[in-house]
A and B are shown apart, each in its own frame.
Chain A
Amino acid sequence: MVRLLIRRILLGIVVTWVVSMMIFAATELLPGDVCHAVLGQGATEQSLESCRERLQLNQPMHTRYLQWLGRLATGELGTSLANDLQISDQIGARAWNTVRLAALTALIAVPLAVLLGLIAAIRADSSVDRGISIGTLCFISVPEFFTGVLLVYILAVQLRWMPAVANYRDLTRGDFLEVIEALALPIATLTFAVLAHMTRMTRTAVLNVMSSPYIEQAILKGASRSRVIIRHALPNAVAPIVNVIALNLAYLVSGVVVVEAIFRIPGLGTLMVESVIYRDIPTVQAIGMLFCVTYVGFNLIADVMAIIANPRLRHPR
Chain B
Amino acid sequence: MSAVIDIQDLWVEARSSGGSFQPIVEGVTVSVYPGEVVALIGESGSGKTTTALSAMAYSKPGCRIVGGSITLNGRDLLKLDQEERRQLRGREAAYVAQSAAAAFNPAIRVGDQVIESTAIHQLMPRDDALREAVKLYQRLDLPDPERLSSRYPHQVSGGQLQRLMAAMAMSSSPALLILDEPTTALDVTTQISVLSAFKDLIRGQNTAAIYVTHDLAVVAQIADRIVVMQNGKVMEAGATEQIISRPENAYTQTLMAAVRPPPKSISVEGEGSDQTDDETIVSVDSITAGYGRTETKIVLQDVSVAVPRGKVVGVIGESGCGKSTLARVIAGLLPQRSGEIYHHGQALPHVARRRTRSVLKNIQIVFQMPDVAINPRHRVREILGRPLDLFIGLSASARESRIDELLELVELPTSYKTRLPGELSGGEKQRINLARALAAEPEVILCDEVTSALDTVVGKAIIDLLKKLQANLGVAYLFISHDLSTVASFADHVVVLYAGRVVEQGPLASVLAPPFHPYTRLLLNSVPELRTDWLDGVVASKAHLDHLGQAVDSSKVGCPFFNRCAVAVNDVCNRRDVPLRQMAQGHTVACHLELDALRE
Taking a contact as CB atoms under 8 Å apart, the answer to whether B106 and A219 are in contact is: no
**B105 at interface (Cβ–Cβ under 8 A)?**
yes
* CB-based closest 5 A-B pairs: A222-B90, A221-B90, A222-B89, A235-B107, A213-B102
The bracket for how many chain B residues form the interface is 20 to 34
The answer for the CA separation of A209 and B472 in the assembled complex, in Å, is 52
Q: What string of 1s and 0s marks CB contacts (under 8 Å) between B39-80 and chain A?
A: 000000000000000001010110000000000000000000
Taking a contact as CB atoms under 8 Å apart, the answer to whether A222 and B87 are in contact is: yes
Please name the residue on chain B nearest to A227 by beta carbon: B120
Taking a contact as CB atoms under 8 Å apart, the answer to whether A236 and B56 are in contact is: no
Taking a contact as CB atoms under 8 Å apart, the answer to whether A214 and B87 are in contact is: no
**B116 at interface (Cβ–Cβ under 8 A)?**
yes
Taking a contact as CB atoms under 8 Å apart, the answer to whether A223 and B116 are in contact is: yes
Taking a contact as CB atoms under 8 Å apart, the answer to whether B90 and A214 are in contact is: no
Question: What A residues does B89 contact at CB under 8 A?
Answer: 219-222
**B373 at interface (Cβ–Cβ under 8 A)?**
no
**B121 at interface (Cβ–Cβ under 8 A)?**
yes
**B104 at interface (Cβ–Cβ under 8 A)?**
yes
Taking a contact as CB atoms under 8 Å apart, the answer to whether B56 and A220 are in contact is: yes
The answer for the CA separation of A236 and B102 in the assembled complex, in Å, is 13
The answer for the CA separation of A221 and B116 in the assembled complex, in Å, is 7
**A311 at interface (Cβ–Cβ under 8 A)?**
yes
**B288 at interface (Cβ–Cβ under 8 A)?**
no
CB distance from B447 to the nearest CB of A (A): 31
Taking a contact as CB atoms under 8 Å apart, the answer to whether A315 and B152 are in contact is: yes
Taking a contact as CB atoms under 8 Å apart, the answer to whether B106 and A231 are in contact is: no
Taking a contact as CB atoms under 8 Å apart, the answer to whether A311 and B56 are in contact is: no
**A3 at interface (Cβ–Cβ under 8 A)?**
no
Please name the residue on chain A nearest to B53 by beta carbon: A220
Q: A222-B86, A222-B121 are in contact. Are A217 and B155 (CB under 8 A)?
A: no
Taking a contact as CB atoms under 8 Å apart, the answer to whether A236 and B105 are in contact is: yes
11 more A-B contacts (CB under 8 A) besides A212-B102, A213-B103, A236-B107?
Answer: A211-B61, A213-B102, A214-B103, A214-B105, A214-B106, A219-B58, A220-B94, A221-B116, A224-B86, A224-B120, A235-B105
**B91 at interface (Cβ–Cβ under 8 A)?**
yes
Question: What A residues does B107 contact at CB under 8 A?
Answer: 235-236, 311
CB distance from A307 to the nearest CB of B (A): 14
**A218 at interface (Cβ–Cβ under 8 A)?**
yes
**A232 at interface (Cβ–Cβ under 8 A)?**
yes
Q: A220-B90, A315-B152, A315-B155 are in contact. Are A232 and B58 (CB under 8 A)?
A: no
Taking a contact as CB atoms under 8 Å apart, the answer to whether A235 and B103 are in contact is: no
Query: Within the complex, which residue of A217, A227, A312 is in contact with B95, where a contact is CB–CB below 8 Å?
Result: A217
The answer for the CA separation of A236 and B154 in the assembled complex, in Å, is 14
**B520 at interface (Cβ–Cβ under 8 A)?**
no
> In the complex, which of the residues A211, A218, A227, A236 has the most CB atoms of chain B within 10 Å of its own CB atom?
A218
Taking a contact as CB atoms under 8 Å apart, the answer to whether B108 and A317 are in contact is: no
Please name the residue on chain A nearest to B116 by beta carbon: A221
Taking a contact as CB atoms under 8 Å apart, the answer to whether B117 and A221 are in contact is: yes
Please name the residue on chain B nearest to A316 by beta carbon: B155
20 A-B residue pairs with CB within 8 Å: A213-B99, A214-B102, A214-B104, A216-B97, A217-B103, A218-B116, A220-B56, A220-B58, A220-B94, A221-B94, A221-B120, A221-B168, A222-B87, A223-B90, A223-B116, A232-B105, A232-B108, A235-B105, A311-B107, A315-B155
CB distance from A213 to the nearest CB of B (A): 4
Question: What A residues does B359 contact at CB under 8 A?
Answer: none
Q: What string of 1s and 0s marks CB contacts (under 8 Å) between A225-243 and chain B?
A: 0010001100110000000
The answer for the CA separation of A154 and B117 in the assembled complex, in Å, is 55
Question: What B residues does A311 contact at CB under 8 A?
Answer: 106-107, 152, 154
Q: A222-B121, A224-B86, A317-B155 are in contact. Are A213 and B97 (CB under 8 A)?
A: yes
Question: What B residues does A236 contact at CB under 8 A?
Answer: 105-107
CB distance from B114 to the nearest CB of A (A): 10
**B412 at interface (Cβ–Cβ under 8 A)?**
no
CB distance from A286 to the nearest CB of B (A): 43
The answer for the CA separation of A67 and B280 in the assembled complex, in Å, is 72
Q: What string of 1s and 0s marks CB contacts (under 8 Å) between A28-40 and chain B?
A: 0000000000000
Taking a contact as CB atoms under 8 Å apart, the answer to whether A222 and B155 are in contact is: no
Taking a contact as CB atoms under 8 Å apart, the answer to whether A218 and B152 are in contact is: no
The answer for the CA separation of A165 and B108 in the assembled complex, in Å, is 53
Please name the residue on chain B nearest to A215 by beta carbon: B105
CB distance from B177 to the nearest CB of A (A): 12
Taking a contact as CB atoms under 8 Å apart, the answer to whether B152 and A223 are in contact is: no
Question: What A residues does B90 contact at CB under 8 A?
Answer: 220-223
Question: What B residues does A312 contact at CB under 8 A?
Answer: 106, 152, 154
**B88 at interface (Cβ–Cβ under 8 A)?**
yes
Question: What B residues does A220 contact at CB under 8 A?
Answer: 56, 58, 89-90, 94-95
Cβ < 8 Å to A, chain B residues 92-141: 94-95, 97, 99, 102-108, 116-117, 120-121
Question: What A residues does B56 contact at CB under 8 A?
Answer: 220
Question: What A residues does B87 contact at CB under 8 A?
Answer: 222
Question: What A residues does B117 contact at CB under 8 A?
Answer: 221-222
The answer for the CA separation of A232 and B120 in the assembled complex, in Å, is 13
The answer for the CA separation of A221 and B89 in the assembled complex, in Å, is 5
Q: What string of 1s and 0s marks CB contacts (under 8 Å) between A57-99 and chain B?
A: 0000000000000000000000000000000000000000000
Taking a contact as CB atoms under 8 Å apart, the answer to whether A217 and B121 are in contact is: no
Question: What B residues does A231 contact at CB under 8 A?
Answer: 108
The answer for the CA separation of A212 and B97 in the assembled complex, in Å, is 12
CB distance from B99 to the nearest CB of A (A): 7
The answer for the CA separation of A250 and B99 in the assembled complex, in Å, is 39
The answer for the CA separation of A183 and B85 in the assembled complex, in Å, is 52
Please name the residue on chain B nearest to A217 by beta carbon: B103
The answer for the CA separation of A64 and B168 in the assembled complex, in Å, is 67
The answer for the CA separation of A315 and B97 in the assembled complex, in Å, is 25
Question: What B residues does A227 contact at CB under 8 A?
Answer: 120
Question: What B residues does A212 contact at CB under 8 A?
Answer: 102
Question: What A residues does B61 contact at CB under 8 A?
Answer: 211
Question: What A residues does B95 contact at CB under 8 A?
Answer: 217, 220
The answer for the CA separation of A61 and B412 in the assembled complex, in Å, is 72
Q: What string of 1s and 0s marks CB contacts (under 8 Å) between B292-336 and chain A?
A: 000000000000000000000000000000000000000000000
Please name the residue on chain A nearest to B106 by beta carbon: A311
Question: What A residues does B94 contact at CB under 8 A?
Answer: 220-221
The answer for the CA separation of A311 and B58 in the assembled complex, in Å, is 30
Cβ < 8 Å to A, chain B residues 418-441: none
The answer for the CA separation of A222 and B174 in the assembled complex, in Å, is 12
> In the complex, which of the residues B58, B107, B152 has the most CB atoms of chain A within 10 Å of its own CB atom?
B107
Please name the residue on chain B nearest to A235 by beta carbon: B107
CB distance from A79 to the nearest CB of B (A): 52
Question: What A residues does B120 contact at CB under 8 A?
Answer: 221-224, 227
CB distance from B136 to the nearest CB of A (A): 15
Question: What A residues does B88 contact at CB under 8 A?
Answer: 222
